[in-house]
Structure 1
Amino acid sequence: MFAARCIIALSLTLSVAPAALAADITAPLVQATTPSASTALKQLFEDERAAYYRSRPMEAMNDGLAPDRVWLGTVAPEEQARRLSEDRAFLARLERMDRQALSEDERVSYDLFRFMVEQRVLLARYGEWRRPFNNDSGFYGELLFLPDMAKPRDVVGYEAYIALLNDVPRYVAEQTANMRQGLADGFTQPAEILGEVSPVIAAAVYERAEDSPLYAPFARFPESMPAAEQTRLKAAGVAALNGPVRTAYADFARFFETEYRPGATKALGASSLPDGAAYYRDLARYFTTLPDVTPEQIHQKGLEEIARIRAEMTTVMGQAGFTGSFAQFQAFLRTDPRFYPTTPEQLLREASWIAKEIDAKLPDYFGRLPRTPFTIKPVPTHLAPTYTAGRYNPGPVGAAGEYWVNTYALNTRPLYALPALTLHEAAPGHHTQGALSRELEKVPAFRLNFYPHAYGEGWGLYAEKLGVEMGVYHTPYEDFGRLSYEAWRAARLVVDTGIHSMGWSRQQARDYLTANTAMTAHEINTEVDRYISWPGQALAYKWGELKIWELRHRAEAALGDRFDVREFHDTALRHGGVTLKVLEDQVDAYIAQRSTR
């Protein structure tokens, strides 16, 4: 999955407007038959992006833009109400336009914009800003990436960065007030998982400025900066870090331990929250991008997929020459030292080797590949204990993508699962899809990193299975690792709906994943807490993957010998992130067009 730097509410888009693409963003879109409709649509898109960045300066910085004000933005309730009013106005403008008067590409942008803003309006009713974190991410961690967002390079940039540091107490105080409102309203994260979050928050409280990730810009100044300025700026930065910033983090950690944990809801599922049944239903529809799907349908599909995958796993277990039971094979995979790295470097090098092997195979499966490279890094230390096995972080605009591999608790990071993880998070999964999306030309800025979860995560899971065709899995153990990952995503359909709609306990969810995958206990515990704290997101993976395979099989059946897997993949990636409905329309159009050649 994509790395989550900010889990404030649900970010419905990761929007990018790189300065290098400014000419493309502001240029006319594909010529529409009615210029006035095209012009109005283009203006709407530009107005929405301007408003979006104005109210979210950290995202603007991360996307290579200079905010109109040096501050961290506000998340106060009145700001939430203002954003909602703004989004309703954007939707009203969109609805007044004649969609049929637009070109084909503009209609795609119209539909995606509608989905994005409609979902923001729909989910705003639940006030997710009152619990701005999940088990592995939150605003307190997002702030630690300020050096990457601000990227100070000269005296003016450093002074702005110091101003941001001095703004941290106000921002943290607003988030704390929002969480207090959540306590009063009964809209909190479940108390049962907060013991795992506490160490992450406590780790952000430092003794000395030099111990904080926020100190990084002061550890190395540009060589061109005069020594006197370096001394002055470092002193101001250290004063901010040792004073207001450290105090803000310490106060928040104290609040979390003394107020939030004791007052948090004892119930586990989202359905137990105020208006919870409707909340979870809407989350399920958002994360699958399907307007009518129900938790019951999702749960049943998960059970069916688990049964199918188990049969394949049993076959592969036989290919490995194992004669014991399924449970015994799971125990063997979880405990035999041969399957686990002994050093972080070993794990990172193995991931790098697999990634380079995949690189050589990509041209046989894709006609268009991204220009932007990616690197491989360990998950940051302050996130690692409660983080997933790996994630893709697109990073700031202009930087290489980052495939994060978790080197914490090495005895829980099986090497036999690493090919599937690399295919999913790096190439041809999230990096390929995400980088191509950022490289789109002549599209509105909101689309450059637009990320409907069912498409994005479904593509990542599709990439894992594509690795079978690509010859990436070399042993039965690696193939079993792939199937274990697929079973893990199918089990999410069962577990997520079980927790949030059917009253499952935390232990029930753990037991289900233990019985149906080869995941280690640490991974299972971390993942279950993620599903508890981020309801609905886990539904995106399998549902999206099933749709992509359905569309591929449709194209293969329709085109026969004329089917070209490179063309299919280019079609699927052509528009960047899309809803499953838009993806289906695009594949059907490709089939119709290819059939006439």
Structure 2
Amino acid sequence: MKKLFLTGLVAATLATACNQNKSTESAAGNGGAHGKADDLPTLFANYWEVQSRLDPMSATSQGDNRFNHLLPNDQTRAFRDTLRTVYQDYLNRINQFDREKLSENDKVSYDIFKYEMQERLAGLQLNTWMLPVNQFWGLPLTLGQYGSGEGTQPFKTVQDYDNWLGRVRGFTVWADSAIGNMRRGMQAGVVLPRALVVKMIPQMEELVVSDAAKSLFYGPINRFPKDFSVADRKRLSSAYQEAILTQLVPSYKKLGDFLKNEYLPKARASSGISAVPGGEQIYKYYVHNWTTTDKTPAEIHQTGLAEVARIRGEMEKVKAEVGFQGDLKAFFASLNSNPKLYPYKTPKEVLDAFHTIQAKIDPNLKKMFGRTPKTPFEIRQTEAFRAASASAEYNQGSPDGSRPGIFYIPIVDATKFNITSGMESLFLHEAIPGHHYQISLQQENQDLPKFRRFAWYGAMGEGWALYSETLGKELGLYTDPYQRMGALGDEMLRAVRLVVDTGLHSKNMTREQAIAYVMENQAMSEAEATSAIERYMAIPGQALSYKIGALKIQELRRRYEKQLGSKFSLSSFHDELLKDGVMPLAVLEKKMDDWAARQ
């Protein structure tokens, strides 16, 4: 899963953004009713400038370091009103262009931009602002990744260190506002499930320390660049100690105490978002937003049931191949209890195993991709403070290559890391050629406007990553039946998600029923199944994007193989698919059909 940073901005910068917005009004709209095509890049550039000011933490992750001292307070009504004004303004502007007069690439940009503005405006109509954080996503977790000194926030110069102190000040304001919004949610009945709140409390408590030097946020002080003067080191050490003990620790303590004492008693017993006021509408929006299709929850549920049945058939074949006597459920249990499938003793051994997978696929990648990223790539263990509730994930590198793309593996206990957990398929998905290839190639493409270079559509992005898992055999993996079973388990997970996500949020399926369904269909421990289901409870609809997107990419590949015959090149297909970045699936299909016609 690609790690997403959902952020906003403090009030002072809102004024700057609005002024910037007004100063560019003539840039795209004065070309008359149809707009001039050469004004389109200006429109996109102006929009991106405004968006970067409104979301400075995302700007940091994209290598734009101008706003590294700012931290969002996206918890105010004024902020949401500003977003609404900006998105409506830019929707009006894009509508002034005559699409038919644009170049092919500009038509794709036009379609994506219009879709994006409409989608963002629709999202602002929901009452999800009352749910600002969960155990999986949210600023309190993201802040730890930025401030550890090993993440996205740069700590190379004295100015970098001072910039971070600005973000710390912003967090205290954000935390108070978020608590206010959650209190509004308590009054309105828009609250998180109790099971999720229980997981959030220790996350906050983990960051409450009495000794600043033991804080995660002291990491940058432990890693001062060698060229820092003694005076700077002394000043910054003192400033960071003060910031940790007087701002960060009190804010995390306040959040933890609020969650435990006020919020938990009011949290809901239900599992799905449909249980809150407006929940049915919220879920419909999330399904559309994450799949970029008009498929209904009921349609997706049926697709999931069909895929689960198909993959179970493939699992039966592996079970027969290894000579296991008994049903699939017994086979799953044997995979979880067989000591031979738990070969690791240390986190380093787990990380080394992933490096071995990388080396194995490298020779075959060259046959399947004509275009590969320049961005460096690293494999790292997930930080301890969030490892217990984290999934493996990919954090994008910076476009200039100064920060690598990072594949994070949570390893709470290396001795419990099972090789049938789909290590090979996991690497293909999160790392290479999955998220690392797709995101890096997109960011590196200077021919795309920035709103496309740094875009994210889960259906295509996660769809590509899941499709990448199907390339394992062609890349020289899946030779071992247990790794193949792991890959089928990963595919089954994405099929099961279609059933349980729609079940939880539109069919009144309970958390316990969903956990049981997961365990019935794959080799997952109860703890793993619980963590998975609680993730889907926290972020409705996100889990649908993988399978819906992968099925579309597989459909397109089969279509062109049949249509083009000997003229079909898999390398060319992959290059064309990735070169223009992520986009809604309907836009992708039109683009790929045009490519096939040119072949």
Return the TM-score normalized by structure 2.
0.91
* Equivalent residue, structure 2, for 1:222: 225
1:557/1:305 Cα in 2 relative to 1: closer, same or farther (>3 Å)? same
Give matches, 1:470-485, under 5 Å. 470-485=475-490
* 2:556 counterpart of 1:551: yes
Deviations 1:241-288 (A, max 9, x none): 111221111111111111111122332211112211121112111111
- Give the distance between the partners of 2:168 and 2:284, measured in 1 at CA: 39
Deviates more, 1:277-286 or 1:157-166: 157-166
Do 1:6 and 1:139's aligned partners in 2 also have CA atoms closer than 8 Å? yes
Give matches, 1:490-505, under 5 Å. 490-505=495-510
Query: Residue 403 of structure 1 aligns to a residue in which SS?
Result: strand
Structure 2 residue corresponding to 1:322, chosen from 296, 311, 324: 324
* Equivalent residue, structure 2, for 1:403: 407
Do 1:61 and 1:150's aligned partners in 2 also have CA atoms closer than 8 Å? yes
1:379/1:156 Cα in 2 relative to 1: closer, same or farther (>3 Å)? closer
Give matches, 1:71-470, under 5 Å. 71-75=70-74, 76-144=76-144, 145-146=146-147, 147=149, 148-290=151-293, 292-340=294-342, 341-388=344-391, 390-397=392-399, 398-410=402-414, 412-416=416-420, 417-470=422-475
Paired AA for residue 79 in structure 2? E
Calculate percent identity across the aligned residue pairs.
34
- Give the distance between the partners of 1:272 and 1:199, measured in 2 at CA: 26
- Give the distance between the partners of 2:205 and 2:398, measured in 1 at CA: 27
- Residue 7 of structure 1, CA deviation: 7.5
Structure 2 residue corresponding to 1:583, chosen from 581, 588, 591: 588
Query: Residue 377 of structure 1 aligns to a residue in which SS?
Result: strand
* 2:47 counterpart of 1:48: yes
Aligned residues: 569
Paired AA for residue 170 in structure 1? V
- Give the distance between the partners of 1:318 and 1:353, measured in 2 at CA: 28
Deviates more, 1:157-166 or 1:441-450: 157-166
* Equivalent residue, structure 2, for 1:30: none
Do 1:37 and 1:102's aligned partners in 2 also have CA atoms closer than 8 Å? no
Do 2:34 and 2:98's aligned partners in 1 also have CA atoms closer than 8 Å? no
Deviates more, 1:473-482 or 1:65-74: 65-74
- Residue 238 of structure 1, CA deviation: 1.0
- Residue 354 of structure 1, CA deviation: 0.5
1:174/1:435 Cα in 2 relative to 1: closer, same or farther (>3 Å)? same
Give matches, 1:59-78, under 5 Å. 59-67=58-66, 70-75=69-74, 76-78=76-78
- Give the distance between the partners of 2:68 and 2:495, measured in 1 at CA: 45
- Give the distance between the partners of 1:150 and 1:530, measured in 2 at CA: 26
Deviations 1:501-542 (A, max 9, x none): 000011110111101111222221111000011100011011
Deviations 1:118-170 (A, max 9, x none): 11111111132321223322211111113444424333333332233233311
- Give the distance between the partners of 1:68 and 1:466, measured in 2 at CA: 40
Paired AA for residue 259 in structure 1? E
Query: Residue 408 of structure 2 aligns to a residue in which SS?
Result: strand
When the two chains are superposed, the root-mean-square deviation of aligned CA atoms in Å is: 2.0
Deviates more, 1:410-419 or 1:466-475: 410-419
- Residue 35 of structure 1, CA deviation: 11
Do 1:77 and 1:178's aligned partners in 2 also have CA atoms closer than 8 Å? no
- Residue 571 of structure 1, CA deviation: 1.4
Do 1:493 and 1:539's aligned partners in 2 also have CA atoms closer than 8 Å? yes
* 2:487 counterpart of 1:487: no
- Residue 374 of structure 1, CA deviation: 0.9
Paired AA for residue 326 in structure 1? L
Structure 2: gaps of 5 or more residues: 10-32
Deviations 1:561-595 (A, max 9, x none): 2211111111111211111112211221121111x
Do 1:367 and 1:566's aligned partners in 2 also have CA atoms closer than 8 Å? yes
Deviates more, 1:538-547 or 1:406-415: 406-415
- Give the distance between the partners of 1:262 and 1:8, measured in 2 at CA: 29
Return the TM-score normalized by structure 1.
0.92
- Give the distance between the partners of 2:318 and 2:7, measured in 1 at CA: 38
Deviates more, 1:240-249 or 1:393-402: 393-402
Paired AA for residue 313 in structure 2? A
- Give the distance between the partners of 2:227 and 2:331, measured in 1 at CA: 60
* Equivalent residue, structure 2, for 1:19: none
- Give the distance between the partners of 1:572 and 1:207, measured in 2 at CA: 51
Paired AA for residue 465 in structure 1? T
* Equivalent residue, structure 2, for 1:39: 38
Paired AA for residue 58 in structure 1? M
- Give the distance between the partners of 1:136 and 1:187, measured in 2 at CA: 18
Structure 1: gaps of 5 or more residues: 10-33
Do 1:289 and 1:579's aligned partners in 2 also have CA atoms closer than 8 Å? yes
Do 2:7 and 2:57's aligned partners in 1 also have CA atoms closer than 8 Å? no
- Give the distance between the partners of 1:247 and 1:400, measured in 2 at CA: 33
Deviations 1:61-96 (A, max 9, x none): 232224468431322121111111211111111112
- Give the distance between the partners of 2:152 and 2:437, measured in 1 at CA: 23
- Residue 461 of structure 1, CA deviation: 0.9
Paired AA for residue 570 in structure 1? D
* Equivalent residue, structure 1, for 2:2: 2
Do 1:8 and 1:133's aligned partners in 2 also have CA atoms closer than 8 Å? no
- Residue 101 of structure 1, CA deviation: 1.3
* Equivalent residue, structure 2, for 1:16: none
Paired AA for residue 440 in structure 2? A
* Equivalent residue, structure 1, for 2:25: none
- Give the distance between the partners of 1:535 and 1:3, measured in 2 at CA: 16
Q: Which has the higher contact order (CA 8 A, sep 6+)?
A: 1
